[in-house]
Structure 1
Amino acid sequence: MAIILPLLTQSPAAIEQLLDAAFGTDRHGRTAYTIRQGTTWLPTLSYAAVDADGTLLGTLQSWPVALCKEDGTAAPLVMVGPVAVLPALQRGGLGRTLMDRVVADARAMASDPLMMIGDPEYYERFWGFSAVATGEWGVPGPVERRRLLALSVDGRAIPTHGMLGPRQSVTA
């Protein structure tokens, strides 16, 4: 049985090694990486799954992104993913456990709406993610539109127009 811990408990090298094993070393060219470029994953919504010996089995990272409108305003979102599990353990429920945790914690803290690029049938069935609000979102790279998903965790409306990209920090 896996133990779920904050991702901060793991070394960056171990996280990168797991991501390479799960997705390949060419993963950095994917659109998801462009969307969150220049941001750092959110410690409060990012997790590690480890075994009793502390071996890293899986990770889930969440990222601060935004839907930017033409008038310069931006609607903050949380990008969920990648959900990574060691190849030998994939399809064993560990990714689902990590997703259960991020959605539960996001609901508990009434976070900004969640978004992800993923399998719509799977993520809608278990957590309610949908592509209904994302049809007019601009994306900085190729993506299957039906795989661009969003979920409101606190009843707030999901923004329907704008360009998806990294959330810019505000400085005084």
Structure 2
Amino acid sequence: MKIRDEKPADREAINALVTAAFRDHPHSNQREAQLVDALRDAGALTISLVAEEAGTIVGHIAFSAVTIDGVDKGWFGLAPVAVLPALQGKGIGRALIEAGLERLQALGATGCVLVGDPGFYRRFGFQADSRLTYPGLPPEYFLARLLKQDGTKAPAMPSGEVRHHPAFTEIG
């Protein structure tokens, strides 16, 4: 498996993959592929990676900037991460998340947030933290991780309300 940056020619394959990955997900609004397109079109995809096996895109992950109390503090949101249904549970999502977090650290990001299952994302260092809030979401599913840069002390956890790019609310 190879993980690489998305290319313009990957758009249709990513759309189909994300649609398939979330088709039967119980908490999906079935608009995740539209969200990726909207973020891309707005120039808001900071990191967009694909996992490729034998020339076929089998996974995708996206990261975009978030604000905390309306201020850019070097934080990013992970959303969505998707793997072809037949290949879920085989480590592709894990590899994408790890590669994406490494890229964020290389960019000098301070932290990353996501909405997801605490049992799954805890293995990547994510945890609920009451200092960061996300409106309308049970706090146990809004997870954060500080990103320590090489040779530096981990920054302090900020506090405030986190907001994603407007595409998140426009797409629903």
Place the TM-score, normalised by the shorter chain, in its bin.
0.7 to 0.9
2:140 aligns with one of 146, 155, 164: 146
Q: Cα deviations across residues 28-68 of structure 1 (Å, max 9, x unaligned)? A: 28xxx5xx9766211xx32100112x111000111112122
Q: Which has the higher contact order (CA 8 A, sep 6+)?
A: 1
State the one-letter code of the partner of 1:66.
T
Unaligned runs of 5+ residues in structure 2 are: 149-153, 167-172
Contact 1:6–1:48 (Cα < 8 Å) also in 2: yes
Counterpart of 2:57? 56
SS at structure 2 position matched to 1:19: helix
- Within-5 A mapping of 1:95-106: 95-106=93-104
- Counting only pairs closer than 5 Å after superposition, residues 25-36 of structure 1 correspond to structure 2 as 26-28=29-31
Contact 1:68 1:75 in 2 (8 A): no
- Alignment correspondent of 2:80: 82
Opposite residue 151 of structure 1, the aligned amino acid is R
Residues matched between the structures, number: 151
Q: Secondary structure at the match of 1:105?
A: helix
CA distance in 1, matches of 2:91, 2:128: 24
Q: Aligned partners of 1:118, 1:138: CA distance in 2, in Å?
A: 12
Q: CA deviation at 1:109?
A: 3.2
2:133 maps to amino acid: W
Identify if the C-alpha distance between structure 1 residues 21 and 80 changes in structure 2 by more than 3 Å, giving closer, same or farther: same
CA distance in 1, matches of 2:96, 2:146: 18
Give the root-mean-square deviation of aligned CA atoms.
Answer: 2.5
Structure 1 residues 127 and 76: CA distance shift in structure 2, 3 A: same
Measured against aligned partners, the alpha-carbon deviations of 1:52-111 in whole angstroms (never above 9, x if no partner) come to 2x1110001111121225xxx443421012110000000111100111111222223321
Tell me the secondary structure at the aligned position of residue 126 of structure 2.
coil
Structure 1 gap segments, 5+ residues each: 168-172
Equivalent residue number for residue 133 of structure 2: 137
For residues 133 and 75 of structure 1, the distance between their equivalents in structure 2, rounded to whole angstroms, comes to 17
